[in-house]
Amino acid sequence: MTEARVKAKVKVGVLISGRGSNMLALIEAAQAGGYPAEISAVISNRPGAAGLQVASDAGVFAMAIDHALFGKDREGHERAMDAVLRDRGVEALALAGFMRVLSPWFVQAWAGRMINIHPSLLPAYPGLNTHARALEAGETEAGCTVHEVTLGVDEGPVLGQARVPVLKGDDADRLAARVLEAEHRLYPAALAEFCARFRQ
């Protein structure tokens, strides 16, 4: 007799710092049937992040852990986040506009279980102001990348990329908006693929 086995969803934590539109794309994807992950916690390092309310409104546990309260103790802040994530049973992390460089301790603690989305076609344009830099360089194509988080900022194995054209008359805001739409499609797909690894 064969037994029908339903694979348990992977519990994912999302780290944000701001508006959380990628976070919402992940929450909405995860709330649809058949998705291999559930979003179990959203943490922002900024108490004023608009994404916290967005997550709560979607019925997801959301909390601020203000890095400013920890002064120069970066790891102390991360240990506080880590404790909440583990308490919520989180198995994998998705960074979604989380604007802090993570310490080696945190990166190692979540090694192989943490991904990020970056608004460029890595390895081109790591860091900030990606769209302005791409325009200045005269690129005809832009896009976004989901990658595993390793010790180097915006490095780590690439899980997926989405490309969009740079159009005549684009400024950084217009290009950012086009790339952001692609981010919202790419990130849920890449997270689903990533989570499949946890249930093989």
Rounded to whole angstroms, what are the CA distances from 37 to 104, 128, 159, 171? 26, 29, 16, 36
Residues sharing a CB contact under 8 Å with residue 73, sequence separation 6 or more, in sequence order = none
Secondary structure (3-state) at 147? strand
Is the CB of 79 or the CB of 126 nearer to ligand GRF? 126
The yes or no reply on residue 18 touching ligand GRF (CB under 6 A) is yes
Segment contacting ligand GRF by CB under 6 A, of 13-21, 29-37, 55-63, 148-156: 13-21
How many residues bind to ligand GRF according to rule CB under 6 A?
A: 15
The yes or no reply on residue 100 touching ligand GRF (CB under 6 A) is no
77 is catalytic: no
Secondary-structure breakdown of the chain: helix, strand, coil percentages, each rounded to the nearest 5: 40, 20, 40
Query: According to CB under 6 A, which one of 11, 46, 67, 118 is a site residue for ligand GRF?
Result: 118
Query: According to CB under 6 A, which one of 26, 36, 55, 97 is a site residue for ligand GRF?
Result: 97
Q: Are 144 and 182 in contact (CB under 8 A)?
A: yes
Q: State the catalytic residues.
A: 118
